[in-house]
Structure 1
């Protein structure tokens, strides 16, 4: 399929077959920096600008890449303000000129299952389609704030994955005139899990087979930059049939689309970055944009739009030993402080004017950060003097200066944990920069520590601890550690269930060590799946809370006792099954387009195309949900033909759409 990033005949987008889409991601509504109250409204100021741009450019819809909210449980005033803005800019009598062809029940998280602009009780002028990110990720026991917006009729929420053991992604098929687009969504899940599913070919993309020409868009919210092994999704390993990959989660803005070569195929990645800075770092300091995506037929054009309401942010890093060696300052704390003060006043502040756009809503007080890398403690100084001087001129006076000690020559992976275990674990925290996700360094350090030290875990597993840490930080699952602890204690006691052993201290320790060795020898993937399934299962975790492990082990007089453990059964998210098809009353469409039943082709995550043409049928449940139109019109019906999950080659009879 041909694609283009330059198309002058689509600039105005007035053609009846031309889609105009505003792309934005990582709005982080409700973000607050605890160090200052001056920029707590920044996220809403910029979000309103985004909505105004959508209205000004007369777009067909807004496509968001996740993290609409900064918290999975934002305060009520944040939700209220978001609803007010969406009602002001997204409601109205403007006609919707494109058709939604996919069965909503198979792709949208809504009840009743329908796209919001087909609700006869709501007048939608600008539809919003969004996936969730790691910040607004609905953890196992919470209703997502996005679900509340769906129930309010303000957004269309897709990309929510009910089964994390095997992912089948149904696209949103939209039609405008002679132009078709297919939008696939992968909301945030743990990168290591998703990477493993990709490697095991357990990510399946369903493709429309009876549409000859279609632009395929993937919306994804995952790490693109590599932090750890399997801690990101490689941008050159995605299936080659995509034309555009809209990448959320990465906050650094790359204004122009990047061409990625994937063997025989090529696709473009659009990484807009966040629309508000949530950390003061080098990546956030770049000019922020949203984008206008125009699609007609098999051609597309992307135009970056510079945001005008972004608070100026300047970031610099100074290596203190170097400025001392260059004799730019005296080696004393006072001399270094004087140099830094002069650098802020005469080098950084003059640059602020380059970020001022003249927009009446743009905050004027900049965010300024100077990272000072020192080699000796004598090179540090008291920053209070600079805080007092700039308290009325910057938005973050309390943390203008951050100190970082020069890293040792050896990196974390080559450290000897046996020498000083406490220092080694502390280094996991210390060496990670504030613009990185600190959990990755900590998790690697914890795993390395217990791999090399003599102090082995006996009941808890490293995998369980790291998964709990990941849930606690990324999804605010405060009970994750308690659940892991209760689950693995119960698992250990279950090991002794029904056994009659002599429980003196030495024998007991030997039995625990033997059981730990047995668990370590087992497949780590199985252990991780068990932990993740348990953490995903609300009912199982509630039972763990209710279970009181009150068994007493008496070591006196070498007494022989029987240890009986409470039993729990974790069903796991995957065992619940999908929703059955529901009988629905016909609804009225307000004349916004007819539904077409679709044939689809199954494509796995494997990017390399195979020569096999073996085929099998897709499950009937998926068939029914995918092909059933949300509004029944006439007697249009068609069958669904699938390709075997291990096959990534497109069939010749659908080659016109490639």
Structure 2
């Protein structure tokens, strides 16, 4: 197995377009940026058509939220119908048990073998942490696209006590590939499952060494303060190439992993969803060519992406006089003009590339006399920059955390937010209370509970999540305290502190308790009414989900059933329903 640039052109080679983190619908209510994600998604699909790929492989977060707006869904569906349906022959075979690989789907059949559809470019996708299942039926927008036959949704796990990953097996001439998909799972849980040896990647029983094995995942790749991550050492040695989603920085060129797990490719997102340095680089998708055990990953630069520039300026290192607010603004104004000039030379010329760039200039000052109103300053550039309101970020140059604050420890929070890699809201909340002083610690509410509530508010748009959790925890605290013997005005504080400390020691139970509250029928019914949605939130992946399948069973060697009689006009080279000799898997 090798990563080669000399893979010979061959009609039997697999050609795959690889992408991840498209975040459709991001900033759709922003008049300037509303079309960004869809323009780039269309470019991705156009590249698939141009390069005549066999299929598209997505590593999660097709949508920015798991309950996208009707407008976002309609635009996605329209683009998939335009570019992925048609009469182009499918020259590959699906040779594993579809009922097993797609058992979580209402229609467990690969779409190009569905006699009711005319698919020209199949799309295979796992879900990420943004478009993950929710509601009591554990559904998401990915299930909707799957039921429509527009994508082949794989990698969804319904038993989170033990993971059995069955690969998609595809053949094209003499070439064989096995694609193992693992949709997003909380990193803490996944770490425990790997540690307890509860993750199984089932391999084909027949010609086990003839398959090119690909692993598609959507997890944290690197260690960050307060976060867990999937270690590269967890990837089994038979995996030859890992397509890593979730990380937005584009590291498209495959590199050797830390262990014997083969190569790792991190395509990165197709759109910037946060104003940080890792998002400011060039965006790519990959054209993956596979021949036997050799492969080539060709980076394809995206031309429709809005230009972005991130830079930090420390006034203490400035050679100019920036002692006053006015002089500081003059200096910053020149910096912005220089940035705009540099960006003007980077436009691709694509007709759908936005003209207004994104700029984040972080200005660190040492004296309050240097401070100015960043929002008001940005109005000077509102016709030249897409994010003029938050173009300038002013903050005191990082010093040691202040010892005393009245309410919010601004410096502690600022130091945490300085870390652009701290992109998980739960971990931001957790780190704040780990680093702030004792005066700012919670005395009634739990850190884990509030972190979970903030996560539901930010990532799942549950507007009353914090109010629900505060009410619930205060009620529990009250019910506990009033039951204590000998309760009086002198010892009530001691009982409260004792109860709070006991809950703090049970962080997992506390987080699960909050998720149950936010997933309750009463909560979801009210939330659905507020949001005019019939989809409710589900139990988290830390709660048990029953699984009727027993361990150590094997997929039956059943001939794939044909659908309705094929239409006479269809090309005879299609592999519809011809799953002759399906390959058994070794559980």
- TM-score, length-scaled by structure 1: 0.75
Please say if residues 111 and 152 of structure 2, whose CA atoms lie closer than 8 Å, have aligned partners that are also in contact.
yes
Please say if residues 183 and 219 of structure 1, whose CA atoms lie closer than 8 Å, have aligned partners that are also in contact.
yes
Instruction: Tell whether 2:288 aligns with 1:293.
Output: yes
Q: Tell me what 1:587 maps to.
A: 562
Instruction: Tell whether 2:46 aligns with 1:71.
Output: no
Q: Structure 1, residues 38-91: CA drift from partner, whole Å, max 9, x if none?
A: 221111111111101001111111011111111222211111111111101000
Q: 1:63 to 1:179 in 2, by over 3 A?
A: same
Q: Tell me what 1:140 maps to.
A: 135
Q: Tell me what 1:241 maps to.
A: 238
* Greater Cα offset, 585-594 or 55-64: 585-594
Whole-Å separation in 1 of the counterparts to 2:450 and 2:59: 30
Instruction: Tell whether 2:172 aligns with 1:180.
Output: no
Q: Tell me what 1:366 maps to.
A: 357
Of 53, 62, 67, which residue of structure 2 is paired with 1:59?
53
Instruction: Tell whether 2:25 aligns with 1:30.
Output: yes
Instruction: Tell whether 2:349 aligns with 1:354.
Output: no
Whole-Å separation in 1 of the counterparts to 2:358 and 2:517: 39
Q: Structure 1, residues 249-283: CA drift from partner, whole Å, max 9, x if none?
A: 11111231122231xx1421111111112223221
Q: How does 1:411-490 map to 2 (within 5 A)?
A: 419-420=404-405, 422-424=407-409, 427-428=412-413, 431-433=416-418, 435=420, 436-437=422-423, 439=425, 440-447=427-434, 457=443, 460-478=445-463, 481=466
Please say if residues 65 and 246 of structure 1, whose CA atoms lie closer than 8 Å, have aligned partners that are also in contact.
yes
Whole-Å separation in 2 of the counterparts to 1:585 and 1:180: 18
Alpha-carbon RMSD = 3.6
Whole-Å separation in 1 of the counterparts to 2:463 and 2:42: 32
Note the residue ranges of structure 2 that are not aligned, 5 or more in a row.
Answer: 526-538, 567-573
Q: Secondary structure, in 3 states, of the residue corresponding to 2:288?
A: strand
Please say if residues 315 and 322 of structure 2, whose CA atoms lie closer than 8 Å, have aligned partners that are also in contact.
no
| 1:309 Cα deviation from its structure 2 partner | 1.2
Q: Structure 1, residues 107-159: CA drift from partner, whole Å, max 9, x if none?
A: 32421211111111110110111111122122235731111111111011112
Q: Tell me what 2:95 maps to.
A: 101
Please say if residues 315 and 364 of structure 2, whose CA atoms lie closer than 8 Å, have aligned partners that are also in contact.
yes
Q: Tell me what 1:645 maps to.
A: none
Please say if residues 63 and 130 of structure 1, whose CA atoms lie closer than 8 Å, have aligned partners that are also in contact.
yes
Whole-Å separation in 2 of the counterparts to 1:584 and 1:528: 48
Q: Tell me what 1:337 maps to.
A: 329
Of 120, 126, 134, which residue of structure 2 is paired with 1:125?
120
Count of residue pairs the alignment pairs up? 554
Whole-Å separation in 2 of the counterparts to 1:205 and 1:421: 53
Q: Tell me what 1:199 maps to.
A: 195
Q: Tell me what 2:528 maps to.
A: none
Whole-Å separation in 1 of the counterparts to 2:182 and 2:492: 47
Q: Secondary structure, in 3 states, of the residue corresponding to 2:157?
A: coil
Please say if residues 306 and 355 of structure 2, whose CA atoms lie closer than 8 Å, have aligned partners that are also in contact.
yes
Q: Structure 1, residues 542-587: CA drift from partner, whole Å, max 9, x if none?
A: 27889xxxxxxxxxxxxxxxxxxxxxx9998534335899999943
Q: 1:575 to 1:291 in 2, by over 3 A?
A: closer
Q: How does 1:80-119 map to 2 (within 5 A)?
A: 80-108=74-102, 109-119=104-114
Whole-Å separation in 1 of the counterparts to 2:523 and 2:64: 30
Which structure has the bigger radius of gyration?
1
Whole-Å separation in 1 of the counterparts to 2:471 and 2:200: 35
Q: Secondary structure, in 3 states, of the residue corresponding to 2:244?
A: strand
Of 496, 513, 516, which residue of structure 2 is paired with 1:534?
516
Instruction: Tell whether 2:303 aligns with 1:308.
Output: yes
| 1:506 Cα deviation from its structure 2 partner | 6.0
Of 127, 141, 155, which residue of structure 1 is paired with 2:151?
155
Q: Tell me what 1:555 maps to.
A: none
Note the residue ranges of structure 1 that are not aligned, 5 or more in a row.
Answer: 547-568, 602-641, 643-658
Q: Tell me what 2:529 maps to.
A: none
| 1:385 Cα deviation from its structure 2 partner | 6.5
Whole-Å separation in 2 of the counterparts to 1:572 and 1:409: 37
Q: 1:510 to 1:308 in 2, by over 3 A?
A: closer
| 1:370 Cα deviation from its structure 2 partner | 1.4
Q: 1:198 to 1:407 in 2, by over 3 A?
A: farther
Q: Secondary structure, in 3 states, of the residue corresponding to 1:212?
A: helix
Please say if residues 358 and 385 of structure 2, whose CA atoms lie closer than 8 Å, have aligned partners that are also in contact.
yes
Whole-Å separation in 1 of the counterparts to 2:580 and 2:460: 37
Q: Secondary structure, in 3 states, of the residue corresponding to 1:129?
A: strand
Of 211, 217, 221, which residue of structure 2 is paired with 1:220?
217
Please say if residues 138 and 475 of structure 1, whose CA atoms lie closer than 8 Å, have aligned partners that are also in contact.
no
Please say if residues 65 and 130 of structure 2, whose CA atoms lie closer than 8 Å, have aligned partners that are also in contact.
yes
Whole-Å separation in 2 of the counterparts to 1:50 and 1:363: 16
Whole-Å separation in 1 of the counterparts to 2:390 and 2:355: 18
Instruction: Tell whether 2:550 aligns with 1:576.
Output: no
| 1:292 Cα deviation from its structure 2 partner | 0.4
Q: Tell me what 1:48 maps to.
A: 42
Whole-Å separation in 2 of the counterparts to 1:496 and 1:579: 44
